[in-house]
Amino acid sequence: MKDKSKYLSVVIPAYNEAENFKKGVLEQVDVYLHKQHYQWEVIVVDDGSTDETAELVKGFIKNKKGWQLICNSHQGKAATVTKGILSAKGENILFTDFDQATPIDQVEKLLNKAKQDYQIVIGSREIKGAKREKEPFYRHLMGKGFNLMVKLFVIGGIQDTQCGFKLFTSLAVKKIFPKIQVYKARKIADAYTGAFDVELLFLAKKLNLKTAEIPVVWHHVKTERVNPVKDSLRMLIDIIKIRIYDILGKYEK
């Protein structure tokens, strides 16, 4: 049983993040959380980085209360996030990208919504009130196209499934994560993120969990990890798998 002494757990997946680390992103998270009055923890999960990410994080958290580092073999973002979330002890569990494209201070919007009995609250870059900063046109077009595919094949009513800023109550975690199928024990050879978020939100709807989409501030962080053509095709295949698994009854177990 989880220790409910923590109000918020922050899960940060990491894969070859040395350059982002040097921008002081973890320091920003630490400073912000220390200003809050609630109990919190931060779990950084390293996904078998081949650069110095793990050592840099280890040094950063050495004398910091509330921080921990989990080192995984390289399995991809889905397995990395899952490891962190299942290790979390908070009543509310946020997963957020290492680069802090959505700044940690946006979590207050999600927590305020969770107080209204929402079990899942997701950050959105698409709904009214959201801000997207310095995003290349091709990335925005890629996101729009993917969201359209999600609505057509898997789940309607959500404008942005892919923003890496999502909050789950511990109860929602217990209900959703054991039912994951597409990304269960799946190893990814590169930095591919996939449609992991879509499967989570599809399960949330299937389980009738109360879900809200909240506008957040998001700024583009340059990366060479995204291959518009290759990744779009793989993500399309993944969302089709979600629909097929549902038809086959795999989510009923």
> Would 1 be classed as within a structural domain?
no
Residues 6+ apart with CB under 8 A from 57: 14, 21, 26, 44, 46, 69
The tokens describing 209, both together, are 């969990």
What's the whole-model pTM score? 0.90
Instruction: Map residue 186 onto helix, strand or coil.
Output: coil
- Each residue of 88-118: pLDDT tens digit? 999 999 999 999 999 999 999 999 999 999 9
- Quick one: tokens of 21? 């680390």
Handedness of CA 93, 97, 103, 104 (dihedral sign): positive
Tell me what pLDDT residue 13 has: 96
d(CA 1, CA 170): 11
Please give the Cα distance from 107 to 118 (Å, whole number): 14
DSSP, collapsed to helix, strand or coil, labels residue 71 as strand
CATH of residue 45: 3.90.550.10
Residue 57 lies in a domain: yes
Residue 133 resides in a domain: yes
- Buried residues in 37-55 as b, exposed as e (16+ CB within 10 A): eeebbbbbbbbbbeeebbe
For residue 253, the model assigns a pLDDT of 74
The total of structural domains in the chain comes to 1
171: containing domain: 6-252
Tell me if 228 is assigned to some domain: yes
Given this model, what pLDDT does residue 1 score?
Answer: 37
What span, in angstroms and rounded, lies between the C-alpha atoms of 206 and 209? Answer: 8
Where on the phi/psi map is residue 166: left (φ > 0), alpha (ψ -120 to 50), or beta?
beta
Name which of 180, 200, 168, 163 is nearest 90 in CA terms.
168
The two counts, helices (H) then strands (E), for the chain are: 9, 9
95 belongs to a structural domain: yes
Structure-token match 């793990």, residue found: 54
Residue 217, domain member (yes or no): yes
Residue 62 falls inside a structural domain: yes
Residue 136 lies inside a defined structural domain of this protein: yes
Distances (CA, A) of 227 to 13, 59, 80, 230: 20, 32, 21, 5
State pLDDT tens for residues 110-162: 999 999 999 999 999 989 999 877 666 656 666 666 777 787 778 888 889 88
**Could you report the average pLDDT of every consecutive run of 10 residues in the chain (253 residues)?**
71 96 97 96 96 97 96 90 96 96 97 97 93 68 71 82 94 96 71 80 96 93 66 83 93 84
The token duo for 177 is 């994560």
